[in-house]
Amino acid sequence: MEVKPVPDGDHGEIVMWVLERCLVQRPELRLYPEQGLVTEAFGQGRPRPDGALAPKGCFKGRGEWSDASGVLMVVEVTSSRPENDRSAKPLGYAAAGIPVHLLIDRRRGDVVGHSQPQGGRYRDVHTTDGLGEQLRLPDPVGMVLDTGELKELMP
Protein backbone atom coordinates (compact mmCIF):
# COMPACT_ATOMS: atom_id res chain seq x y z
CA MET A 1 0.00 0.00 0.00
CA GLU A 2 1.29 3.48 -0.88
CA VAL A 3 0.36 6.65 0.97
CA LYS A 4 -0.14 9.70 -1.23
CA PRO A 5 0.36 13.07 0.47
CA VAL A 6 -2.82 15.06 0.88
CA PRO A 7 -2.77 18.12 -1.42
CA ASP A 8 -2.96 21.53 0.19
CA GLY A 9 -5.51 24.23 -0.64
CA ASP A 10 -3.26 26.00 -3.16
CA HIS A 11 -2.79 22.72 -5.01
CA GLY A 12 -6.56 22.30 -5.25
CA GLU A 13 -7.05 25.88 -6.44
CA ILE A 14 -4.52 25.36 -9.23
CA VAL A 15 -6.24 22.16 -10.37
CA MET A 16 -9.56 24.03 -10.38
CA TRP A 17 -7.94 26.83 -12.42
CA VAL A 18 -6.95 24.29 -15.09
CA LEU A 19 -10.40 22.72 -14.97
CA GLU A 20 -12.06 26.10 -15.57
CA ARG A 21 -9.81 26.81 -18.57
CA CYS A 22 -10.65 23.41 -20.02
CA LEU A 23 -14.39 24.01 -19.62
CA VAL A 24 -14.17 27.40 -21.34
CA GLN A 25 -11.87 26.43 -24.21
CA ARG A 26 -12.89 22.78 -24.75
CA PRO A 27 -16.44 22.36 -23.34
CA GLU A 28 -16.87 18.99 -25.08
CA LEU A 29 -14.09 17.54 -22.91
CA ARG A 30 -13.88 16.80 -19.17
CA LEU A 31 -10.97 17.09 -16.76
CA TYR A 32 -11.34 14.04 -14.53
CA PRO A 33 -9.59 14.53 -11.17
CA GLU A 34 -7.53 11.71 -9.67
CA GLN A 35 -8.59 9.16 -12.31
CA GLY A 36 -6.52 6.02 -11.88
CA LEU A 37 -4.59 5.18 -15.05
CA VAL A 38 -2.69 2.09 -16.11
CA THR A 39 0.59 3.25 -17.63
CA GLU A 40 2.96 0.37 -16.78
CA ALA A 41 6.05 2.59 -17.05
CA PHE A 42 5.66 4.72 -13.93
CA GLY A 43 6.22 3.28 -10.47
CA GLN A 44 3.87 0.33 -10.21
CA GLY A 45 2.05 1.46 -13.35
CA ARG A 46 -0.84 3.02 -11.47
CA PRO A 47 -0.60 6.83 -11.32
CA ARG A 48 -3.45 9.11 -10.31
CA PRO A 49 -2.78 12.38 -12.12
CA ASP A 50 -4.30 15.54 -10.70
CA GLY A 51 -6.39 15.66 -13.87
CA ALA A 52 -6.99 13.56 -16.97
CA LEU A 53 -8.51 15.46 -19.91
CA ALA A 54 -10.68 13.21 -22.06
CA PRO A 55 -13.94 13.22 -23.98
CA LYS A 56 -17.08 13.20 -21.87
CA GLY A 57 -17.95 9.64 -20.84
CA CYS A 58 -14.46 8.31 -21.57
CA PHE A 59 -14.19 6.49 -18.24
CA LYS A 60 -17.78 5.27 -17.99
CA GLY A 61 -17.83 1.62 -16.96
CA ARG A 62 -14.04 1.35 -16.73
CA GLY A 63 -13.68 1.07 -12.96
CA GLU A 64 -11.02 2.45 -10.63
CA TRP A 65 -8.08 1.81 -12.97
CA SER A 66 -8.37 2.51 -16.66
CA ASP A 67 -6.04 2.20 -19.60
CA ALA A 68 -4.99 5.58 -20.94
CA SER A 69 -6.77 5.26 -24.28
CA GLY A 70 -8.85 8.34 -24.93
CA VAL A 71 -6.84 10.54 -22.55
CA LEU A 72 -5.69 13.68 -24.38
CA MET A 73 -3.76 15.30 -21.53
CA VAL A 74 -2.72 14.63 -17.97
CA VAL A 75 -2.20 17.44 -15.48
CA GLU A 76 0.20 17.38 -12.56
CA VAL A 77 0.69 20.11 -9.96
CA THR A 78 3.86 19.61 -7.94
CA SER A 79 3.44 18.50 -4.37
CA SER A 80 5.83 17.58 -1.59
CA ARG A 81 7.65 15.15 -3.93
CA PRO A 82 8.25 17.24 -7.07
CA GLU A 83 10.97 14.93 -8.39
CA ASN A 84 8.38 12.34 -9.42
CA ASP A 85 6.24 15.00 -11.08
CA ARG A 86 9.23 16.37 -13.03
CA SER A 87 10.93 13.19 -14.20
CA ALA A 88 9.29 9.81 -13.59
CA LYS A 89 5.69 10.73 -14.35
CA PRO A 90 6.37 12.34 -17.76
CA LEU A 91 8.20 9.17 -18.80
CA GLY A 92 5.26 7.00 -17.74
CA TYR A 93 2.71 9.19 -19.46
CA ALA A 94 4.79 9.35 -22.66
CA ALA A 95 5.22 5.57 -22.67
CA ALA A 96 1.43 5.24 -22.37
CA GLY A 97 1.05 7.46 -25.45
CA ILE A 98 -0.79 10.30 -23.73
CA PRO A 99 -0.44 13.19 -26.22
CA VAL A 100 0.07 16.08 -23.76
CA HIS A 101 1.36 16.32 -20.20
CA LEU A 102 0.93 19.62 -18.38
CA LEU A 103 3.13 20.21 -15.32
CA ILE A 104 2.54 23.19 -13.07
CA ASP A 105 5.68 23.43 -10.97
CA ARG A 106 4.96 25.42 -7.83
CA ARG A 107 8.52 25.29 -6.50
CA ARG A 108 10.13 26.55 -9.70
CA GLY A 109 7.26 28.89 -10.53
CA ASP A 110 6.82 27.75 -14.11
CA VAL A 111 4.51 25.74 -16.33
CA VAL A 112 5.74 22.97 -18.63
CA GLY A 113 3.91 21.51 -21.61
CA HIS A 114 5.15 18.13 -22.85
CA SER A 115 3.91 16.81 -26.19
CA GLN A 116 4.63 14.39 -29.04
CA PRO A 117 5.29 11.17 -27.14
CA GLN A 118 7.65 8.88 -28.96
CA GLY A 119 9.86 6.06 -27.74
CA GLY A 120 8.84 6.52 -24.10
CA ARG A 121 9.68 10.24 -24.01
CA TYR A 122 8.05 13.51 -24.99
CA ARG A 123 9.85 15.00 -27.99
CA ASP A 124 8.61 18.57 -27.44
CA VAL A 125 8.91 20.33 -24.10
CA HIS A 126 7.95 23.98 -23.69
CA THR A 127 8.61 25.74 -20.38
CA THR A 128 7.44 29.21 -19.46
CA ASP A 129 10.06 31.60 -18.16
CA GLY A 130 8.25 32.10 -14.89
CA LEU A 131 4.60 33.08 -14.82
CA GLY A 132 3.05 35.63 -17.13
CA GLU A 133 3.56 33.99 -20.51
CA GLN A 134 1.01 32.19 -22.61
CA LEU A 135 1.55 28.47 -23.06
CA ARG A 136 0.03 26.86 -26.13
CA LEU A 137 -0.98 23.24 -25.65
CA PRO A 138 -0.93 21.58 -29.09
CA ASP A 139 -3.59 19.40 -30.66
CA PRO A 140 -5.38 17.26 -29.72
CA VAL A 141 -5.75 19.57 -26.70
CA GLY A 142 -5.62 22.83 -28.65
CA MET A 143 -5.73 25.32 -25.78
CA VAL A 144 -3.79 28.40 -24.71
CA LEU A 145 -3.13 29.04 -21.02
CA ASP A 146 -2.39 32.53 -19.72
CA THR A 147 0.02 31.58 -16.95
CA GLY A 148 -0.06 35.10 -15.49
CA GLU A 149 -3.34 34.14 -13.86
CA LEU A 150 -1.41 31.66 -11.71
CA LYS A 151 0.57 34.41 -9.95
CA GLU A 152 -2.22 34.73 -7.39
CA LEU A 153 -2.21 30.99 -6.72
CA MET A 154 1.52 30.34 -6.50
CA PRO A 155 3.53 32.10 -3.79
Quick one: three-class SS letters along 44-112?
CCCCCCCEEEEECCCCCCCCCEEECCCCCEEEEECCCCHHHHHHHHHHHHHHCCCCEEEEEECCCCEEE
98 domain residue, yes or no: yes
3 domain residue, yes or no: no
2 domain residue, yes or no: no
What's the structural domain count of the chain? 1
The Cα–Cα gap between 70 and 53 comes to 9
The Cα–Cα gap between 1 and 127 comes to 34
4 domain residue, yes or no: no
The Cα–Cα gap between 141 and 59 comes to 18
78 domain residue, yes or no: yes
13 domain residue, yes or no: yes
94 domain residue, yes or no: yes
1 domain residue, yes or no: no
Mean pLDDT (the chain, rounded): 90
Which pTM does this prediction carry? 0.91
pLDDT of 42 reads: 61
Q: 3 pLDDT band (50/70/90 cuts)?
A: very low
User: What's the CATH number where 75 sits?
Assistant: 3.90.1570.10
86-136 residue pLDDT tens: 888 899 999 999 999 999 999 999 999 999 999 999 999 999 998 999 999
Q: 150 pLDDT band (50/70/90 cuts)?
A: very high
The stretch 31-49 carries a mean pLDDT of: 83
**Domain coverage including residue 131:** 9-152
Please say if the pLDDT value at position 82 is more than 90.
Answer: no
